[in-house]
Amino acid sequence: MGKLQTLTGGRMASFTGAVARRPGTAAGDRRRSGRTTALQWATRLILPAALALWLLSLRHVDLAGMRDYGLLQVLPVLFWVALGLLTLGFCLALADRRTGGGWFAGYVLGLIAVIHATPTLLYPTLRYSWAWKHVAVVDAVIRHHGEVPHADKLAIYNQWPGFFDLNAFFLQATGLRSALGYATWTPPVFNAVLLAPLLLLHRTVTRDRRLIWGAAWVYYSCSWVGQDYFAPQAFAFLLFVTMIALVMGQLPASALYRTGETRTNRWPVGRFVVVMVIAAVIISSHPLTPFMLISALVALSLPRRNRRVVLPVLAGTVVLAVLWDATVARPYLSENLNDFLGSLLKPDTNVVSGLAALGAAAPGQVVVSWVDRGLSAAVFVLAAIAFLARPWVRRTGLPLLVVAPLPLLVANAYGGEMIFRAYLFALPAASLLIAALLLERSGRPRLQVLAACPLLLALLGGLMFGYYGKESANYFTEEEVAAGRFVAATAPPGSTVVSLTSAVPGLYLRYDENPQVQLDEQDIRDRRRLVNDPVKGLEGFVKRASPTQPAYIILSRAQAADLYQRGILPGGTVQRMESALSKTPDYIPVYRSKDAVVYRYQGAKG
C-alpha cells in the first residue's frame, strides 16, 4: 500500500508540479491578474474572429484552378490567416491555466470545421470516388434487401456488411431516399464525433486539461490519411478508439490518475457486454480493423498488471473474429488465402509497398508525398522523444498502442495502404505522447506553450499538404455527376461501363447490374496498347457489346486530373481517347458537357 501511495504521489506530482503559486506582493498578484485577464480576452476574441475570417475566405474560390497541389493553390490568403490565428488562439488558451474546457472544445471543433468542412462547403457534390462507391453499395443493399448478387469485386462488402446494413436500416427507418444526402457531411461530423472517444482515451492517463486538449489538437493536426469519409473504415476506426478507451479506463494503472477511486481489476458485467458488442460490430464491418484491435489488445496485455482486464476482452474478440471469418467471411478468405500466406514471407516488401515510386507522378504530387512522409516520420520521432524525456508515459499503455500496428505492417501490404493505416491507428496514442513532450507544465508554462506554437503550425501545415493535395481528382463538378447518373439511368442491365480511373462520381451506381472495367487497373501490355491506339486498345474490353447490352465509355475532367497526378498513364490520355473515339463511327456520343463525355458502343458495324 505504501508503495502504491508513493507511486501515485510521484505521478500526480509530475502532472501538477507547476500549479502551486509562488508567494509575491499584492501588487505583483494584481499585475499577474491583469495579464491573465488580457489573455482570457484574447482567447475569447480570437476564436470567433478566426472562424469569421475562414467563412469569408470561402466566398470566392476558383476550384477550376486546382492542379498539382489541389486546394492548396486556390485557397485565398485569408484562409491561411484564419488557420494561423486559430492556432495562435489555441496556444494562448493553453498558456492560461484558468481556460475552461468549453473554450478548448471550441478551438478544437473550430479546427475540425476549418479542415474538414471546407471541401464540403466549397464543392457542389459529394467528394471522393470511394464515397460514391459506398453510397452505391448501400443503395444496392436496399434494392436486394440484404446481400447483393453479381457484385464482382465489390462482393467483399457482402462479407463485411455491418456498415452498409446499418445505413440501409437508417434510410428505411427515416424514409430518406439515399445516403448521398448526408454522406457529404461525413468528414466534419465523423471527426467531431471522434473527439469524444479521443478525450476519453486521453483522460485515462492524465487529468491535465492542457495535455488532454493539446493531444486532441495534435491528433487533428496530423491525421492526414483521409480515412474519414463515408466508409466502413471510418466507422470501424471510431469504434476502435472507443473500445480502446474503455479498456484503458479499466486498467489498474488508470486508477492512479483518479483520486478517491478504487479498481478491482474486474469488468462490470454491463461494461464488458458493451465492449463485446462494439467488438462484434467492428468485426462485421471491416476486414482490417479487427486485426488492428487484436494487435492493440495483445500489446496492452504484455504488462502482467493489465492481464486480468485485457485478456477476457482479447479472448472474446478473437473468438468472435474466428467465428465470423469461418462463416460469413469464409468465401473471401478462402479465395485469397494463398496471397495472405505469401505476403507473410515478404515483410520488407510489405513495409515499403505504400511508399510508391514517384518518378511518374506530377511534380507537385512528389512534393505532397514527401511532406506526407515527413509528417508521419515526425510524429513517430516526437513520440519516441517523449518516451525518453517523460518517464511517466512509460508506465501507461500509450507506447504499447503506438507500436501495436507495426506487426501488421510487416505481415501484409493491404494493397499498398498498410503503412498509412498503421500510422492512423498509432496516432491517437502518439498524439498524447507529443502533447506530453511539448506541453507538460514547467516553471514557465506560458513561454513553453508559445515556444511550441511554431511546431504546432508546422504539423498543421504538413496535414494540409496530405489532406488537400489531391483534391483536383477528388472534386467532382455537377456535369461529371450528371454523366455518371446518365449512364446509371439509361444503360440496360448487362451493359459494360468503361472508365480510365475510378475518379468518376456514380460509376458504381448500378454495379450489380452492369460490369465495370477500369483501364488503369489492367496489365502493362493493355495499357500500352491503349496509349498507342485508343480504339484498338478498347477492343478487348468492349467486344461483348451488342445493341441490347452496349458498352459505355466515360471520359471526364477528374479522370484526367487523376492520371496526371499519379502518372500511371500519360497525362493527355483522356484527350487522346476523346479525339480518337469522336472520329470512329462505331462510338456514338450520348452525353456531352464541358467536364464529361459518354460514348456508347454497340458493336462494330458490318
Which three three-digit cell numbers place residue 589?
456520343
As beta bridge partners, residue 517 has: 498
Measured CA to CA, the distance from residue 58 to residue 47 in angstroms comes to 17
- The per-residue pLDDT for range 409-429, each reduced to its tens digit, is 876 656 667 888 899 999 999
Report d(CA 225, CA 466) in Å as an integer: 7
Q: Which residues pair with 553 in a beta bridge?
A: 498, 599
H or E element: which one contains 518? strand 516-518
Bridge partners (DSSP) of residue 592 are: 597
Mean pLDDT of 535-539: 93
**Tens digits of residue pLDDT in 139-159:** 999 999 999 999 988 999 999
pLDDT digits over 65-122, tens only? 998 899 999 999 999 999 999 999 999 999 888 889 999 999 999 999 999 999 999 9
For 362-395, write each residue's pLDDT tens digit: 888 889 989 999 999 999 999 999 999 999 999 9
What residue ranges define each of the domains in the chain, with the CATH number in brackets? 34-127+184-472 (no CATH), 476-601 (3.40.50)
Question: What is the spatial order of strands in the sheet that 516-518 belongs to?
Answer: 516-518, 496-499, 551-556, 596-601, 587-592
| Residue found under cell 507538460 | 440
Contact 501, 559 (CB under 8 A): yes
Whole-number Cα distances in Å, 271 to 176, 247, 276, 359, 394: 33, 10, 9, 52, 27
Q: Model confidence at 4, in pLDDT bands (50, 70, 90)?
A: very low
Sorting pLDDT into bands at 50, 70 and 90, what band is 603? confident
Q: Answer whether residue 265 shows pLDDT above 80.
A: no
Q: How far apart are CA 54 and CA 87, in angstroms?
A: 13
Task: Point out which residues pair with 250 in neighbouring strands.
Answer: none
Is the pLDDT assigned to residue 271 strictly greater than 90?
A: yes
| Amino acid making up residue 127 | R
Q: What is the pLDDT of residue 23?
A: 35
pLDDT for res 7: 38
Pairwise pLDDT comparison (31 vs 487), residue with the higher score = 487
User: How confident is the model over 517-533, as pLDDT tens digits?
Assistant: 999 988 889 999 999 99
- Work out the pLDDT band at 346, boundaries 50, 70, 90: low
In the prediction, which pLDDT does 266 show? 80
Q: Which of 341, 375, 369, 374 lies closest to 356, judged by CA?
A: 369
pLDDT at 570: 85
Closest among 318, 334, 323, 249 to 279, alpha carbons compared: 318
Cell of 57: 475566405
Note the Cα 246 to chain centre separation in Å.
Answer: 22
Which tens digit of pLDDT belongs to each residue from 202-253?
999 999 999 999 999 999 999 999 899 999 999 999 999 999 999 999 998 6
Q: Which residues pair with 555 in a beta bridge?
A: 597
Query: CB neighbours (10 Å) of residue 17?
Result: 12
Q: State the pLDDT confidence band at 260, using cuts at 50, 70 and 90.
A: very low
Residue type, 601: Y
What are the DSSP calls for 416-455, one per residue?
TTHHHHHHHHHHHHHHHHHHHHHHS--SSHHHHHHHHHHH
Query: pLDDT digits over 31-81, tens only?
Result: 444 445 788 888 999 999 999 999 999 998 999 999 889 999 999 999 999
CA distance 584 to 247: 64
Please state, in angstroms and rounded to a whole number, the distance separating the CA atoms of residues 373 and 362: 17
Count other Cβ atoms within 10 Å, centred on residue 415.
Answer: 8
For the chain, the residue count is: 606
If pLDDT is split at 50, 70 and 90, which confidence band does 343 have?
low
* Strands 496-499 and 551-556, bridge-based pairing: parallel
Q: 3-state SS string over 556-602? A: EHHHHHHHHHHCCCCCCHHHHHHHHHHCCCCEEEEEECCCEEEEEEC
Give the separation between CA 65 and CA 596, rounded to whole angstroms.
17
> What integer pLDDT is reported at residue 158 of this predicted model?
94
Measured in Å, how far apart are the chain's first and last C-alpha atoms?
93
Question: Cβ atoms within 10 A of the Cβ of 249, count?
Answer: 18
Q: Cβ neighbours of residue 442 under 8 Å, at least 6 residues apart?
A: 18, 448
CA distances from 138 to 6, 33, 85, 135 (A): 56, 57, 41, 5
Amino acid at 327: T
Q: Which helix (H) or strand (E) holds 496?
A: strand 496-499
pLDDT score of 25: 39
Alpha helices in 346-444 (DSSP H): 347-352, 363-389, 398-403, 406-411, 418-439
pLDDT tens readout for residues 549-592: 999 999 999 999 999 998 888 878 999 999 999 999 999 999 99
As a whole number, the mean pLDDT across the chain is 87
Q: How far, in Å, CA of 514 to CA of 551, rounded?
A: 9
- What is residue 552's DSSP assignment? E
Whether residue 12 contacts residue 261, with contact meaning beta carbons closer than 8 Å, is answered with no
At residue 358, the pLDDT reads 56
- The answer to whether residue 396 scores a pLDDT higher than 80 is yes
Give every CB contact of residue 530 below 8 A, 6+ residues apart in sequence.
519, 522, 537, 538, 569, 573, 577
- For 497, the 3-state DSSP assignment is strand
Q: How far is Cα 401 from Cα 292, in angstroms, rounded to an integer?
A: 10
The pLDDT of 263-280, averaged and rounded, is 88
Q: Quick check: 190 and 234 in contact, CB under 8 A? A: yes
Q: pLDDT band for position 264 (50/70/90)?
A: low
306 confidence band (pLDDT: 50, 70, 90)? very high
Report yes or no: 86 and 48 within 8 Å, Cβ to Cβ.
Answer: no
Q: In the numeric block, which cell numbers belong to residue 332?
A: 473471401
**pLDDT for the residue 85:** 97
Confidence of residue 435 (pLDDT cuts 50, 70, 90): very high
Chain Cα centroid distance, residue 605: 48
Interior angle at CA 98, CA 96 and CA 101, nearest 5: 105
